[in-house]
Amino acid sequence: MKRELQLKSKEDYNGNNRKPLAPLSCIAIDDDSFSLSVLEKHCSKLPFLALKEVFDNPLEALNHLKNNQPDLVFLDINMPEVSGISIARKLQGQSMVIFTTSHKDFAHEGFELDAVDFLLKPIEFDRFYQAISKAKEHKDFLELKEKVEADYDYIIIKEDYQNVKIKLSDILFIEALDNYVKIHTTQKTYMTLRNLKSMAGHLCSRNFMRVHKSYIVSLNHIDYFSRDQIHINDSVIPIGRTFMKKFREEIQN
């Protein structure tokens, strides 16, 4: 069952009437109603958190996540029908995850999915605040990184626990693969945990264009194209029907 929450205006956590920062949007998924109540109570104390909805049914939560992308998901691991681990795998690259569970044995598997943190029930507020601080810092870092990338001629991705710098001029096209993107360059191919939407947000105004729900291409590297295909080196990239008109207009300009 989904419970919609009414958000109230708040002062910042120091009690001052300063202009608040954009809050972290979040949802909570847990089959235990008491645990959800604890999370609601903790979230209400932090002005930089906007808890939109809570779910005690993981299937309803999955349906919600098809059309919504919160910044953060509080996720119980051990639930009936669908485990939190399964949901987290679907969320990779879309929303940050903080696992909540009564079983510390699940911690290792949770961190393998690059979770922000792992909270053991019963969740004390101090420990909760520590986890939220990590999530806020991570979001701020990603936003800053995107702004920096918009001003430079390269992007930085994470691959195999390393930060890799890729020149924009070397990128041929970018391909979406589930929760990852594959970046094809003149030298090699990279895989990173990121979604195509976030890539398009700051690349598509810089000689890159989304031409399909699963592809972004470099206009500078197109060899030739037909009505519904683009050829770059030995690769053939489809042009999605909804992208055809805009692509032709861009090429003609």
Predicted confidence (pLDDT) per residue in 128-185, tens digit = 999 999 898 888 777 766 666 566 788 888 888 788 999 999 999 999 987 789 999 9
- The one-letter amino acid code at 11 reads E
Contact 39, 63 (CB under 8 A): no
Domain check: are 13 and 117 in the same one?
Answer: yes
Q: Which residues pair with 171 in a beta bridge?
A: 185
Domain check: are 48 and 122 in the same one?
Answer: yes
Domain check: are 44 and 100 in the same one?
Answer: yes
Domain check: are 144 and 158 in the same one?
Answer: no
* pLDDT score, position 19: 41
Domain that holds residue 215: 152-252
* pLDDT score, position 98: 94
* pLDDT score, position 75: 95
Q: pTM for this one?
A: 0.56
Domain check: are 160 and 220 in the same one?
Answer: yes
Domain check: are 58 and 35 in the same one?
Answer: yes
Domain check: are 31 and 118 in the same one?
Answer: yes
125, 148, 171: which is the final residue of a domain? 148
Domain check: are 185 and 77 in the same one?
Answer: no
Three-state DSSP class for residue 161:
coil
Domain check: are 198 and 119 in the same one?
Answer: no
91, 121, 148: which is the final residue of a domain? 148
Between the CA of residue 78 and those of 62, 95, 99, what are the distances in Å?
15, 19, 10
* pLDDT score, position 149: 59
* pLDDT score, position 179: 75
Contacts of 22 (CB under 8 A, 6+ apart): none
Three-state DSSP class for residue 32:
coil
* pLDDT score, position 67: 87
What's the CATH code of the domain at 199?
A: 2.40.50.1020
Domain check: are 144 and 80 in the same one?
Answer: yes
Between the CA of residue 28 and those of 74, 166, 253, what are the distances in Å?
5, 36, 47
Number of independent structural domains in the chain: 2
What is the mean pLDDT for each group of 10 consecutive residues in the chain (253 residues)? 45 39 87 96 94 95 91 92 87 85 68 79 95 87 66 82 89 90 95 83 78 93 93 95 87 77
Note every long-range contact of 206-214, with CB atoms under 8 Å and residues 24 or more positions apart, other chains counting: 206/168, 207/168, 208/168, 208/171, 208/174, 209/246, 209/247, 209/250, 210/243, 211/237, 211/238, 211/239, 211/240, 211/243, 211/247, 212/237, 212/238, 212/239, 212/240, 212/243, 213/176, 213/240, 214/175, 214/176
Give dist(CA 128, CA 120) in Å, integer. Answer: 10
Contact 203, 223 (CB under 8 A): no
What's the CATH code of the domain at 29?
A: 3.40.50.2300
Domain check: are 186 and 200 in the same one?
Answer: yes
89, 119, 148: which is the final residue of a domain? 148
Domain check: are 143 and 234 in the same one?
Answer: no
